[in-house]
Homo-oligomer: A and B are copies of this chain.
Amino acid sequence: MDKIIKLGFLGCGNVGGGVWKLLSGFAKDIDHRTGLKFEVKRALVRDLTKKRDIDFPAGVLTDNVEDLLGDPEISIVLEFLGGEKPACDWIKEALRRGKTVVTANKVAFALHWPELQKAAEESGAGLYYEAAVCGAIPIIHTLEASLQSNAISYIYGIVNGTTNYILTRMSREGAEYSAVLADAQRLGLAEPDPSSDVEGLDAAYKLSILASLAFHGRVPFEHVYVEGITSIQAEDILCGQELGYTLKLLAIAKRDGLKVETRVHPTFIPDKHPLASVSDAFNAVFLKGHACDEMMFMGRGAGDLPTASAIVSDLLRAAAAEKHAYPTFNNDPHPAIPYENNTDWQTAFYVRMLAVDKPGVLSHVAQTFACFGVSIAVMQQKGAMSDGRVTLVFITHKANEKAMRQALATIDPSFATVESVLRVEE
């Protein structure tokens, strides 16, 4: 006989609606393939009177969380509220009561993963979070179940669709940031308050989760260096394009022995790099393992059905599991291996300056760079401004972040002003 599994939805907005649609539209196939039937018994919403796309059966909607958490028939809770409060407390409470939780909540994992996992392990409930990172891309399960025998040395991720959409359009159209952002907001591709996306926080949450799984060691969110795209100028994108580079907001995690670096910032990558062709709102994760070598996973990072694809895959695995698995970390709870947060990483740089057009200027800049161990790979001088100054564009070889900052602070502003500094990864 078929097994009927009763579900509780915490929230039922865009993503919850997508899961509802996917579960009901695909119910016959799921039953045929797995012998599982799902029934959404309760769905928590804020406003019971609100008009909704979905025609919920009577008695499903509730505005009292205890109707879900206190119902012993509900064995799996799907959480779509997002954010830290009250979602985290409810996830934890559900786990404590032995209910398996499937969630899309990156903030909960970036900030409270150890507590959540502890609650799950104590009660034996499952904790599934594929949808928390990169929507439909099964990068969490791939790291856990397909790349487990790899020592992963780096991850480059395009993990935020809004910023990728904005940078793609700035690159295609030569448009400025504020104009494209306004258009993206009009099209519903950026939030009315876009700060978490455009300032890189959303990407940093996801990076801390990915890096923790990839390196089998907890990488705290607070260790992630974050720089967003709000001050990117069309001119820099164009200068990069002329040199064969595409600008992306990259989430970068590298591990070298016990040193781990994690950073989110706008980054030039060569046009030929597979990540350069990941455009519009798509997400992608490019990584290297000691056995698998380089790999890339690309797909939709957001949207109701793509996110539902990840959530339902978690749900099916959760429902079929005889016993739930939990990741292990080398530095948690007993830090046998103390990872070090490396903040003086090595990277190449793109620098654009406005320089006085007279003898000795270029030599001053080149000497300053050399003093700090920064070596120049490419230099371009461009046409003069109305005030007679010229634009100088440099791409450096790899240099230490701190040395580069010192070098730039040492450039004499009466010779040249530093207009933009961006990092470059090959």
Contacts and interface: CB of A to CB of B under 8 A. Distances in A.
Interface of A: 18, 22, 26, 29-30, 32-34, 130, 136-138, 141-142, 145-151, 216, 272-274, 276-279, 282, 284, 289-300, 303, 305-306, 308-310, 312-313, 316-317, 320, 322-323, 325, 327-328, 330
Contact of A216 (B29, B305, B317): B29
B320 A322 contact: no
B150 A146 contact: no
B298 A293 contact: no
Contacts of A151: 26, 29
Given A146-B130, A274-B277, A309 B291 contact: yes
Contact of A320 (B26, B284, B297, B325): B325
A136 B291 contact: yes
17 contacts: A18-B291, A33-B216, A136-B292, A146-B310, A148-B312, A149-B308, A274-B277, A277-B277, A289-B309, A290-B305, A291-B306, A291-B308, A292-B309, A295-B297, A295-B298, A295-B300, A296-B298
Chain A interface, DSSP helix/strand/loop, else mixed = mixed
B138 A328 contact: no
A316 B144 CA distance: 11
Given A292-B305, A322-B323, 17 more contacts: A29-B151, A33-B216, A136-B289, A136-B293, A141-B146, A147-B313, A148-B313, A149-B312, A273-B277, A291-B305, A293-B299, A293-B303, A293-B306, A295-B298, A295-B300, A296-B296, A322-B322
